[in-house]
Structure 1
Amino acid sequence: MNIYWFLPTFGDGHYLGTSIGARPPSFSYLRQIAEAAEDLGYGGVLVPSGRSCEDSWAVASALSQVTRRLKFLVALRPGTVTPTVAARMANTINRISGGRLLLNVVAGGDPDELAGDGVFLPHDERYAQAAEFIKVWRRLQAGERVDYDGQHVKVRGAELYLFPEEAPEPVEPSLWAGGSSEAGHQFIAEHVDVYLSWGEPIAAVAEKITDVKRRASAAGRTLRFGLRMQTVVRRTEAEAWAAAENLLAHVDDAAIRQAQEALARFDSEGQKRMVALHRGSRERLEVAPNLWAGFGLVRGGVGAALVGSAENAAARLKEYADLGIDYFILSGLPHLEEAYRFAELVLPLLGKQSKRERSIYATMGAMGRA
């Protein structure tokens, strides 16, 4: 398994749906999380994008200079930048980071936010736009001089002079994407390298993986798979479920109604699936063994959390891995503390050691031989 963490560039805190105990996304705090993630053994971090977030490209660029191995999965929105400009930006970050940039292609799910960024396309056309974007992107990265006259993307004489192959570790930034609609699955099958699903019950995730694999096979391609979910992990089941309930300590029914009304305008199929897990009710939040939908009551995006003891959390992750999930991108509140909890409690059960543990064990071994 490849375990990644998350950078909360829109703010962090101890509770959902309130400013009580909130932490702003200062650079010093984001740096703490990035350095902790690297030290604890996470392979990378997801850097989100949106109108409430700090710019993902700027954050990744800055934090790449205070880390050595950590990878940065940065959101790329095809409707807000040309493929040529995006390729130059990506290749620059890839070079200065030593080949540690990954890209998450986001078609967007909130029409209001998209309109604020100048994107007015309906749902399926945004995936068509993303497909044209990636076609040009791939040709540019292959060293071509590109003329392209598509419905959504038009370039003439587009080319790059500096390529990712010139990075210390030659690698083109791999392309990831999420999506739960038919249009999303088809785009992913034809154009990206890693399909990233939000956390859902095992059977639902298996169904999506099967569909994307079938579409990819028809296109002569193979993909890798990732899962994005929240975590609330403690030493015992009782502690974990109490901690999950405490996240909603300052959320009343009015706040839930307001959040659900805002989420209802989204045209994202993934967001609709998150809402369907709980339907706005506190009474049906445990939707599968150790899977809790409480995050989705008051916020958009991934709304399901892995809740339970370290042993049960590891067992559930292994079940998802058996479906073919290669990457797990996790998060929890507050992100700094939860990164430590998950690393210390669960990573050893998955056969992983942090940099700190490897150093300690190596030192102990050396002392034993002395």
Structure 2
Amino acid sequence: MTGRPTDLTVFGTCPASTPEGGRDYLDRVAQVASWSDAAGHDGILIYTDNRSVDPWLVAQVVIQATARLAPLVAVQSAYMHPFTAAKLVNDLAYLHGRRVDLNIVAGGFVGDLVAMGEALPHDARYDRAVEYATIMTALFTSREAVTFDGAYYSVTGLRLTPALPAELVPRLLVSGSSPAGLAAARALSATAMVYPQQPEQQPPADPALTQGMRIGVIARPTAVEAWEVALGRFPEDRAGRVTHRLAMSRSDSRWHQQLSQAVEKQGTYWMAPFKSYKTFCPYFVGDYATVGEEIGRYVDAGYTTFILDTPAEEQDLKHTAVVLDMARSRLGGRS
């Protein structure tokens, strides 16, 4: 890093697909993407797993529904060759003149990976992901044909046509919750993303890296209003807790295990939606000033990229913007 960032980078999250309601899901993706675009977000995360709609198809919908929002596509090397993924980025840029960012993931549900014959252990999957993203980055940035010979991939004289404009080269994000993930982020000069512990327990960000975190926010003018919304949106769900425990038993994700052991509620920090399998990140619930102060403590610790959970309604993003502006002020102003 060349210095402390002067602004926050903010991504939203695309709704997860469900087995039914394809047309309704298409409309919901476009709606949430347009909200995020209007809120001034930099991009929007799109999930990938064995049950989700293909993220590249969803990225096309996001681009068509927005003016500037960048799809942040989750890319798992088990699903496709790095040239295929790079060409999809390149082709979307060619067709729409828009950047597509990449969230490089190495994990997933164990059952999904086994079903595809994925046998690599956790840390080795990150080693492979580094090779994967290294080839993609070379294809995006080199004006010469790319040759690479690694432990997992080998390519000779590979190139993208037409060449990707420099301003549309993707930003890379990598999960940095495990030592292997953090090492991958360093190797790729990528943004390392974590799932936060309570502010007083969160280690400072590595000053040599750009780091960020994934959070949910429910903030209102008063704490009473915020908790009324939160408890109405995420009521107690015993069946969901059973599903969560089952999912944890089938995952080798370090961040999954870390969050599962976190205290359920402390101040604004709230884990009930995660532990009821309703979402995949901690929530911060309370009045604007308190939540803004809590998120500001992470900014003070060096975390300057945030992926926000999927909003239920557009008004959520307007409330969240208030607390993000409070946290942003810790950086000394907006760019």
TM-score by length of 1: 0.78
Most deviating of 89-98 and 105-114: 89-98
Q: Does 1:144 align with 2:144?
A: yes
- Could you tell me which amino acid in structure 2 is paired with residue 263 of structure 1? M
- Could you tell me which amino acid in structure 2 is paired with residue 37 of structure 1? S
1:289-333 deviation line (CA, Å, top 9, x unaligned): 31101122132873310111122222222221112222221125x
Structure 1, gaps ≥5 residues long? 13-18, 214-221, 279-284, 353-370
1:123-165 deviation line (CA, Å, top 9, x unaligned): 0110111111122223222133233332221223322222221
Structure 2, gaps ≥5 residues long? 1-7, 327-335
Is the contact made by 1:111 and 1:120 (CA closer than 8 Å) also made in structure 2? no
SS of structure 2 residue aligned to 1:34: helix
Match of 2:226 among 240, 248, 262: 240
Specify whether residues 189 and 203 from structure 1 end up closer, same or farther in structure 2 by C-alpha distance, changes over 3 A only.
Answer: farther
Q: 1:56 maps to what in 2?
A: 55
Specify whether residues 350 and 270 from structure 1 end up closer, same or farther in structure 2 by C-alpha distance, changes over 3 A only.
Answer: closer
Query: Quick one: distance in 1 between partners of 2:303 and 2:275?
Result: 26
Q: Does 1:75 align with 2:49?
A: no
Shift of 1:204: 4.1
SS of structure 2 residue aligned to 1:9: coil
Within-5 A mapping of 1:18-29: 26-29=25-28
Query: Quick one: distance in 1 between partners of 2:235 and 2:72?
Result: 32
SS of structure 2 residue aligned to 1:187: helix
Is the contact made by 1:177 and 1:192 (CA closer than 8 Å) also made in structure 2? no
Specify whether residues 153 and 205 from structure 1 end up closer, same or farther in structure 2 by C-alpha distance, changes over 3 A only.
Answer: farther
1:15-41 deviation line (CA, Å, top 9, x unaligned): xxxx9xx99861111111111221233
- Could you tell me which amino acid in structure 1 is paired with residue 295 of structure 2? L
Q: 1:120 maps to what in 2?
A: 119
Shift of 1:340: 1.8
Is the contact made by 1:4 and 1:44 (CA closer than 8 Å) also made in structure 2? yes
- Could you tell me which amino acid in structure 1 is paired with residue 321 of structure 2? L
Is the contact made by 2:56 and 2:73 (CA closer than 8 Å) also made in structure 1? yes
Query: Quick one: distance in 1 between partners of 2:312 and 2:144?
Result: 43
Aligned residues: 318
SS of structure 2 residue aligned to 1:205: coil
Q: 1:340 maps to what in 2?
A: 315
Is the contact made by 2:273 and 2:279 (CA closer than 8 Å) also made in structure 1? no
- Could you tell me which amino acid in structure 2 is paired with residue 304 of structure 1? P
Q: Does 1:310 align with 2:288?
A: yes
1:57-103 deviation line (CA, Å, top 9, x unaligned): 11112221221111221111122211111111111223334333111
- Could you tell me which amino acid in structure 1 is paired with residue 281 of structure 2? G
Q: 1:359 maps to what in 2?
A: none
TM-score by length of 2: 0.85
1:202-245 deviation line (CA, Å, top 9, x unaligned): 244334x23xx4xxxxxxxx432221111222332122223333
Most deviating of 241-250 and 31-40: 241-250
Q: 1:225 maps to what in 2?
A: 211
Is the contact made by 2:213 and 2:305 (CA closer than 8 Å) also made in structure 1? yes
Shift of 1:178: 0.9
Question: Radius of gyration: which is bigger?
Answer: 1
Query: Quick one: distance in 2 between partners of 1:347 and 1:249?
Result: 25
Query: Quick one: distance in 2 between partners of 1:303 and 1:315?
Result: 19
Match of 2:186 among 186, 189, 197: 189
Specify whether residues 246 and 308 from structure 1 end up closer, same or farther in structure 2 by C-alpha distance, changes over 3 A only.
Answer: same
Specify whether residues 351 and 151 from structure 1 end up closer, same or farther in structure 2 by C-alpha distance, changes over 3 A only.
Answer: closer
Is the contact made by 1:274 and 1:302 (CA closer than 8 Å) also made in structure 2? no
Q: 2:272 maps to what in 1?
A: 294
